[in-house]
Amino acid sequence: MNRIDESLLVGLPPFRRLERKQIREILDLAVSKRFDEGVAVFSEGMPAERFYLLLDGYIRAVKTTPGGEHIIAMHIAPGQLFGIAAALGRDTYPATAITAAETLALSWPMRLWDEFTAKYDGFASETYKVVGDRMQDIQSQLTELATQAVEQRLASALLRMVNQSGRKVDNGIEIAFPVTRQNISEMTGTTLHTVSRVLSAWQKQGIVESTRRHIVVTEPHQLVLLSGVAG
């Protein structure tokens, strides 16, 4: 693990209160692995044998309903832990982690979780803050599914991805990872046909530019208005 410099982890939530030598200790116990896009790092219900830190790329956390439908619960950005079943008091993974782009991750055996949280100041508390934020995001999505019209849900989903990964480009704000209309359908609990219809209408109105796997929000303010956040 000498190729991974501890400076890469300074400032990230689990490590921001640690000294560099402590980060080095943690890194020396890690395994680094690169994953292609569209690969399942682990699957929902599998025994939680390892936990992960995303260094590069994006992860989709996908839940399966009792009826067999797939729902994208969240996207995880670089610099975040994932697969942290032990922090939720679980011994199995609560969702499937699928790479949304080519991904580089570190991982540790789950048996080290208790050791890390006991030994390293802030490792647990900083992690639980992240868990709390994620639970709040999921609760917001559930509220949207229950209360919002389709266009509001789609606008909220695009804004969430922009906030998580958006990068400024000449014509607006680009979602940094590949995203398909099927992905958006799975995020918003609506049909692929409806997603295609709404995105096509928004493209004609100049709100977004959408291709098969690529979305740029050209009028973010209009999307905020459509989501209902502004009023």
* DSSP secondary structure, 189-220, as one string: T--HHHHHHHHHHHHHTTSEEE-SS-EEES-H
Q: Is the pLDDT of residue 53 over 80?
A: yes
CA atoms within 13 A on the CB side of 201: 10
- The domain ranges of the chain are 6-130, 145-227
Average pLDDT, integer, range 162-166? 84
- Residue 128's pLDDT is 77
CATH superfamily ID and name for 6-130:
Jelly Rolls (2.60.120.10)
Q: Is the pTM of this model over 0.85?
A: no
Average pLDDT, integer, range 158-167? 86
Considering only CA atoms, which of 123, 126, 104, 107 is closest in space to residue 115?
Answer: 123
Give the model's confidence band at 231: pLDDT under 50 very low, under 70 low, under 90 confident, else very high. Answer: very low
Q: In the CATH scheme, what is the code of domain 145-227?
A: 1.10.10.10
**Least confident stretch, 15-19, 147-151, 165-169, 218-222:** 147-151
Average pLDDT, integer, range 127-141? 74
**Of all residues in the chain, what percent carry a pLDDT higher than 70?**
94
**Of all residues in the chain, what percent carry a pLDDT higher than 90?**
52
- Residue 91's pLDDT is 94
User: How many CB atoms lie under 10 A from the CB of residue 12?
Assistant: 19
Beta strand pairing status for 172-174 and 215-217? antiparallel
Alpha helices in 52-176 (DSSP H): 113-119, 123-147, 150-165
Give the model's confidence band at 12: pLDDT under 50 very low, under 70 low, under 90 confident, else very high. Answer: confident
Q: pLDDT digits over 88-117, tens only? A: 889 999 999 999 999 999 999 999 999 999
Q: Is the pLDDT of residue 230 over 70?
A: no
